[in-house]
Every structure is written in C-alpha cells, then in structure tokens.
Amino acid sequence: MIRSDPLAPKRRHTSPAKPSIGIIGAGLAGLRCADVLLEKGFKVTVIEARDRIGGRVHQQALHDGRFVDLGPNWIHGTENNPITEIAKRTGTATGGLHPKSWVYDHLGDLMSLEDGEKYSAMVWNIVQQAFDHANTYGAETHADESLLSFVRERAADLIPEDDVECVKKREILIRLAEMWGAFIGSPVSRQSLKYFWLEECLEGENLLIAGTYKKILDDIAAPAVTAANIMLNSKVTEITYQLQKSHKVSVGLDDGQHLLFDEVVITTPLGWLKRHPDAFNPALSERLTQAISAIGYGCLEKVYVTFPTAFWLKATKMSGFIEWITPTYAPSNPHHWHQDAIELGSLPEPDAHPTLQFYMFGAQSEHITSTLAGLTTESEKMAFLADFFQPYYSLLPNYSAESPDCTPLGFLSTEWLNDELAGNGSYSNFQVGLENADKHIEVMREGLPDQGVWFAGEHTAPFVALGTTTGAYWSGEVVGKRIIEAYAGSRESKRDGI
C-alpha cells in the first residue's frame, strides 16, 4: 500500500487505460522511477540521449584493461542506505582503503604520518563543527560567509597563540582544508557556510567502491531493461505541456519525433536544466526558473594514472589518502591548486591495482578539461597529463625517473565539464551569497505535477542525500510513488491494490 504523499497533486485520474509515463534520462533517478512505476502496471518509456544507460554512473577501461568509475565511486553514509544494501546483494566490493593521510607541504616535503593524520583529523573536526554551526545558526549566518572563513576562525581556536609555531600550523591547517573541495566540486572559499547543513549526508561510513558501480547499476536498471521501452540515442529538444486538447505532455526529439505522454519525469542533471531553459514550452514559472538558476553546479573531475607496479608501497607502504597542499614546486600548476589522490594499490585482492586516482575541482578542473578539449591526438593528451601530474607522483616513496616501474603506463581523465549531456559539470552544491537554498530544492522537488511535469535527480533528493547516488535513487523512487498516488482513483490502480 502506497502512503498518501503530501506532495501529491490535487488532480486524480479516472481513465481505465494504463497511464503512459515518459522518463527523460536513464541515470539512477530515471531507472529507479521506472522500476517503481512498472511494478504498478504503468507504461514506461525511458528516453536517453546517450548510447547507453547509467548517466554519470559509467565505467571505462584503463591501460591494463581494468575498469574504473568515471562518475561516483563512493557510498556516502551507510545507515538506512539502499545503495549499501544493493552493493551487498550484488557482491560489489566496498571499503578496504586504509584511512591514513599522507600530507606533502607547500615545499614538497612529506610530513610525518603522525602530523599528517593530526592535521587531517583537525580538518574533519572543523567540518563537523561547520555542520553543527549551520544546523544551529544557519538562519542567522550571513549569506556571504564561506566554509573557508569558518576554517580560519576555528584554526585560531584549535592552535592557540602560545604555540610558538601557531602561524605556521594554522596555515597548514587552512591549506589542508582545501581537500573538502573534492567532495563538492568547488573550492571551500565558494562553499556557503549558511547552507553547509545541506552537504551533510547519512550517518555511517563513507565507503569506497573498490571495484566499480557496474553491478549496482545493472541491479537498479534490470526492471527497466526488462519491461520499459528504452530509447537510446534520443536527444530531447523540447518539452511541451499545457496542451489544451489532450492535457498530455509532448516530448520533441532531435530526429523530429514528438512523443505524447500522460506524465513526463525529467531526470537530466541540474547543469542541463540550467543550460536549456528554452527546452520548455511554455517557459517554466519564474519561481522554478529561479530555483534552477540559484543552486550551484560543481566540476569534480578525476584522473587515473596507472603504473607497472605500485612502487609507493614497496618500502614505506604509503597507503590511503595523499594530499599535496599549495604545491609551489609544480611548474605545471602556477596557481598552486590543492591536489589530492587516493592510491588503489593497497585495496584487497582482487581489486588492488597500481593506480593513483587524482581528484580536481574548481579552476583546476576547468584548466584540465579545456586543455584536453583543445588537443587533437591521444599522444598530446597523455603528454599534457604526464607533465601536469609528474610533480606529484615523483615525490612518492621509491620513485626513480629511470625506473620503468615509475613510468606511467597510461592516463584516463574524466571530462564532465566538456559533456553537454552531463550539464557540463557534476553534482549540485551551495555557493556563498545563496539565499533560500532549501526552498529552491523543494521547489524543484515539487515540480509541476498539475501540468504532468516532474523533476528527479540528485538535485531534488532528500536533504541528507543531495549530490549522491543515494539521493538520485531516492528522488526517482519518490516521484514514482507520487505519480502512482495521482492515479490512485483509477480502476487500473485499484486493481493493483494501491
């Protein structure tokens, strides 16, 4: 029995025919929505512009043939998380990454492991304090206050004036706090303190997907693959609603087709919505347009660097997280962008492989992706990536420029900023200067149900799962249930026991 949803539209349908639902986008939100609707007998068509399902949940092979995730490869929060349960059910390996933090200072010198972990723990302490502050005092916090300003304040509290090296230590702590940018695809100087509570995830661990998301994706997609009409290579150009005669929604495709549906669920990324307001006819309401425009959209990118062996593990056993803070020594990085990575050589077998996974965000992501877009040959792209990242991996233990073990076999870089279908970026976030962020999310989440237009995706998720695969999954599930509730009075729904 589906519970009555407070967001269910006022209208009730009485047609005995199976309702026809169009879902735009075959990512986790769209696939989960399709599953919920198919179970209740709805006729579902999934329209996907790519030649595959999954959206940003996608894998590609490294030089050695091993597949890695180009999109998400973490589960954020394990308590009451459906993605965790699906991972267990499908035998998807999770965790296994040692929580050690190895930190190189601005001169390229490796801190002691004790100091690295001490500073890392202080950063996470400040992040938790920022969550608590935003939850308690968010309404009173000025919109222009950033997470960085909060870090600076707390650094003074954690490292007192009577410490003879307080200035140096505070600066290290502040620089290391830049690592939070890899969680949201945006620098901490742009992260809203007022709405930092919207970045807080479910309780529990942050689990690395040691293999890939492929089995999880296949499990979520199975009902749609079996029973829905999935249209690949079908790019949506127009969504027309408020049709006077049929009261249906028309979806126009780039090949000239126009498909009619009783309801349409739009699961395109937030960035796509931002760039394509003209796809809606009539234009979306001013309030909905404002909400879409107001919420930030990140630019998190990854670069995988694969070596013949995990040379960094041979003696020092440098396993876990590696941070290069304000690297003044890297000619390829004159802006001294923070750099961090996880090493995958110490994962449990059979998932271990000699690869460093680098994360980029903000201006660094823009630099990497725009440069790659301007290069024409694969060899030029590999040479650029080797030049950019060599100053970092060359500092790792046991590195020797003459050793074949330390020469990369290949590079694999994401380019979400160059991907129109991804909305030229990745994941919603909350920027300084933003007001009414939670209300904006709620407006997008509500959509236009009376017009048959619904929105789902990580940007419409429950507040504890925004910007995550869990949030995308839940958002599709919620919209599916709301549509079922809208048809609860029809003979079709009664027969299905709703």
What pLDDT, on the 0 to 100 scale, is given for residue 487? 93
Please enumerate in sequence order all residues whose Cβ is within 8 A of that of 450, keeping only pairs 6 or more positions apart, or say none.
Answer: 9, 10, 11
Please give the average per-residue pLDDT across 63-71, as a whole number: 94
Q: Where are the domains of the chain?
A: 20-57+214-295+432-496, 116-201
Asked if 97 contacts 342 with a C-beta cutoff of 8 angstroms, the reply is yes
Its pTM surpasses 0.85: yes
Please enumerate in sequence order all residues whose Cβ is within 8 A of that of 459, keeping only pairs 6 or more positions apart, or say none.
Answer: 269, 270, 295, 428, 441, 444, 466, 467
Confidence tier at 493 by pLDDT (50, 70, 90) = very low
What pLDDT, on the 0 to 100 scale, is given for residue 18? 86
Cα(248)–Cα(111) distance, rounded to whole angstroms?
A: 63
Neighbouring CB atoms inside 10 A of 233's CB total 12
Torsion of CA 60, 66, 72, 76, to 10 degrees: 170
pLDDT digits (tens, 9 = 90+) for 81-134: 999 999 999 999 998 788 889 999 999 999 999 999 999 999 999 999 999 999
Superfamily of segment(s) 20-57+214-295+432-496: FAD/NAD(P)-binding domain (3.50.50.60)
pLDDT digits (tens, 9 = 90+) for 422-476: 999 999 999 999 999 999 999 999 999 999 999 999 999 999 999 999 999 999 9
Q: Is the pLDDT of residue 498 over 50?
A: no
Asked if 186 contacts 362 with a C-beta cutoff of 8 angstroms, the reply is yes
Neighbouring CB atoms inside 10 A of 335's CB total 11
Backbone angles phi, psi at 305, to 5 degrees: -120, 115
Please enumerate in sequence order all residues whose Cβ is within 8 A of that of 478, keeping only pairs 6 or more positions apart, or say none.
Answer: 5, 445, 456
The tokens 């909060």 sit on which residue? Answer: 150
pLDDT digits (tens, 9 = 90+) for 339-365: 999 999 999 999 999 999 999 999 999
Phi and psi based region of residue 260 (left: phi greater than 0; alpha: psi -120 to 50; beta: remaining) = beta
Confidence tier at 490 by pLDDT (50, 70, 90) = low
Cα(247)–Cα(241) distance, rounded to whole angstroms?
A: 8
* DSSP class per residue in 94-136: B------EEEE-TTSPBPPHHHHHHHHHHHHHHHHHHHHHHHH
pLDDT digits (tens, 9 = 90+) for 302-330: 999 999 999 999 877 888 899 999 999 99
Strand (E) or helix (H) holding 355: strand 355-360
What pLDDT, on the 0 to 100 scale, is given for residue 139? 95
Nearest Cα neighbor of 31 from 216, 251, 240, 234 is 216
The tokens 């995730």 sit on which residue? Answer: 69
* Highest-confidence segment of 96-105, 255-264, 480-489: 255-264
Confidence tier at 4 by pLDDT (50, 70, 90) = very low
Residue type, 57: V
Asked if 215 contacts 446 with a C-beta cutoff of 8 angstroms, the reply is no
Cα(29)–Cα(97) distance, rounded to whole angstroms?
A: 28
